């Protein structure tokens, strides 16, 4: 990342569309690109031992509505698929053929997500959305192989809409997740009480998991965190404390609950709410701390002036941003259009950021009766008779 010149923000009374196209430091977007790419490589590696069990062995997959045509690749195709995903994530990280790599990763990761509805996870859905918006965010204009190979691409600024789009996408799951927790079960400590009790055998922290104050601390702490973390990160005075709270929250989540890389993605994404030049400030701070000579600033071209009128491309971009934002805000609320409680009917539960709200389980047993004798027996699906005797 080149050292930046000072860029005056657009005047506060400038139209919203002008502020969206105003320049901001690209440093935080670059750091997010690298962090996202590295974490996606880790996610791909995490899935490799599960490919056969999840996608090759099962003879049937529960498809999403309208996506029954999405089926696993034959033979060893799924291993090749994840290999391509890992390569695309690497290219996103280093900024090589960035747009193409981001597109390939989004399509490939979404394909994996759509293969099995029974394995729906909110955090996988969020990763698909982040991968989608990264296609459009110009996070490769600095600290990338693309910028090294094409000097004309190099820039120390990015349009403000790119930063705001990432912030919006990260903030929505927090806010909607907090609102969803305002329900009778969560406020009385369920299902948190049940989840913590299952971890009572863990060393050191196990005995605490059955304490009622711990149950309510996790329940109400999680609710308040989800509702307040974004406003607290947006306000300069509370931002440092909110960031420390976010790190603690995600560290606890990552070590108590099995939710993969989700806590680390969200911890990295929280940095997007700091001023966009925070990586440069942090680098300068480390330089002073280690008493290193300051880096000489690299001359860069001045940022383009704010537009006085919208061109066709900018109008199309604003239309896309408006439609995408409206969809992200309204689609999670669709369960209000269906009769019944979404917690029981499940209609509108998915894609609505109703995270960690319930835990459902079930069991089934099969019995057979010989109509000639009236004899009944329980059938074990593994091929053994559990009770009674199987007629010859």
Question: Residue 145 has what pLDDT?
Answer: 97
**Average pLDDT for residues 148-177, to the nearest whole number?**
95
Question: Residue 206 has what pLDDT?
Answer: 84
Question: Residue 67 has what pLDDT?
Answer: 94
Question: Residue 10 has what pLDDT?
Answer: 53
Range scoring the smallest mean pLDDT among 22-26, 270-274, 288-292: 288-292
**Average pLDDT for residues 166-193, to the nearest whole number?**
94
| Alpha-carbon gap, residue 112 to 81, rounded angstroms | 9
297-342 pLDDT per residue, tens = 655 556 666 666 778 888 899 999 999 999 999 999 999 999 998 9
**How many other β-carbons are positioned within 10 Å of the β-carbon of residue 171?**
20
Q: How confident is the model at residue 385 (pLDDT cuts 50, 70, 90)?
A: very low
Range scoring the smallest mean pLDDT among 84-98, 335-349, 359-373: 359-373
**Average pLDDT for residues 178-193, to the nearest whole number?**
93
Question: Residue 156 has what pLDDT?
Answer: 92
101-125 pLDDT per residue, tens = 999 999 999 999 999 999 999 999 9
Range scoring the smallest mean pLDDT among 14-18, 123-127, 296-300: 296-300
Question: Residue 144 has what pLDDT?
Answer: 96
**207/79: higher pLDDT:** 79
Q: How far is CA 334 from CA 67, 331, 338, 358, in A?
A: 20, 5, 7, 19
**36/209: higher pLDDT:** 36
Range scoring the smallest mean pLDDT among 84-93, 225-234, 249-258, 334-343: 249-258
| Alpha-carbon gap, residue 293 to 92, rounded angstroms | 31
The 3-state secondary structure of the chain, one letter per residue:
CCCCCCCCCCCCCCCHHHHHCCEEECHHHHHHHHHHHHHHHHHHHHHHHHHHHHHHCCCCCCCCCCCCCCCCCCCCHHHHHHHHHHHHHHHHHHCCCHHHHHHHHHHHHHHHHHCCHHHCCHHHHHHHHHHHHHCCCCCCCCCCHHHHHCHHHCCCEEEHHHHHHHHHHHHHHHHHHHHHCCCHHHHCCCCHHHHHHCCCCCCCCHHHHHCHHHHHHHHHHHHHHHHHHHHHHHCCCCHHHHHHHHHHHHHHHHHHCCCCCHHHHHHHHHHHHCCCCHHHHHHHHHHHHCCCCCCCCCCCCCCCCCCCCCCHHHHHHHHHHHHHHHHHHHHHHHHHHCCCCHHHHCCCCCCCCCCCCCCCCCCCCEEEECCCCCCEEEECCCCCEEECCCCC
Question: Residue 149 has what pLDDT?
Answer: 96
Rounded to the nearest integer, the mean pLDDT of the chain is 88
In this prediction the pTM is: 0.87
Question: Residue 294 has what pLDDT?
Answer: 72
Q: How confident is the model at residue 392 (pLDDT cuts 50, 70, 90)?
A: very low
């Amino acid at each position: 990342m080149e050292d930046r010149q000072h860029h005056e923000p657009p005047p506060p009374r400038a139209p919203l569309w002008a502020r969206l196209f105003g320049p901001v430091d690209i440093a935080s977007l670059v750091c997010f690109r690298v962090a996202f790419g590295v974490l996606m490589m880790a996610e791909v590696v995490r899935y490799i031992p599960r490919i056969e069990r999840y996608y090759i062995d099962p003879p049937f997959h529960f498809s999403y509505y309208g996506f029954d045509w999405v089926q696993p690749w034959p033979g060893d195709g799924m291993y090749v698929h994840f290999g391509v995903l890992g390569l695309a994530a690497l290219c996103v990280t280093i900024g090589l053929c960035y747009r193409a790599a981001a597109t390939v990763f989004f399509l490939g990761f979404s394909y994996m997500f759509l293969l099995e509805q029974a394995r729906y996870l909110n955090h996988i859905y969020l990763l698909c959305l982040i991968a989608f918006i990264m296609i459009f965010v110009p996070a490769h204009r600095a600290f990338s192989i693309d910028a090294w190979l094409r000097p004309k691409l190099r820039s120390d600024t990015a349009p403000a809409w790119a930063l705001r789009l990432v912030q919006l996408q990260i903030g929505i799951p927090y806010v909607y997740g907090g609102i969803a927790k305002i329900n009778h079960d969560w406020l009385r400590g369920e299902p948190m009480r049940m989840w913590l009790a299952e971890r009572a055998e863990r060393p050191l922290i196990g005995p605490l998991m059955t304490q009622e104050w711990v149950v309510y601390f996790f329940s109400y702490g999680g609710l308040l965190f989800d509702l307040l973390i974004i406003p607290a990160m947006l306000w300069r005075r509370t931002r440092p404390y909110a960031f420390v709270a976010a790190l603690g929250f995600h560290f606890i989540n990552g070590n108590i609950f099995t939710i993969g890389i989700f806590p680390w993605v969200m911890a990295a994404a929280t940095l997007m709410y700091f001023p966009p030049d925070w990586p440069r400030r942090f680098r300068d701070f480390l330089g002073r701390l280690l008493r290193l000579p300051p880096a000489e600033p690299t001359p860069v071209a001045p940022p383009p002036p704010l537009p006085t009128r919208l061109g066709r491309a900018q109008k199309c971009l604003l239309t896309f941003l408006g439609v995408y934002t409206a969809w992200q805000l309204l689609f999670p609320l669709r369960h209000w259009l269906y009769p019944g409680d979404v917690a029981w009917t499940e209609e509108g539960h998915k894609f609505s950021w109703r995270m960690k709200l319930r835990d459902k389980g079930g069991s089934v047993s099969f019995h057979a009766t010989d109509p000639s004798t009236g004899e009944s027996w329980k059938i074990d699906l593994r091929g053994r008779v559990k009770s009674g005797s199987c007629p010859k």
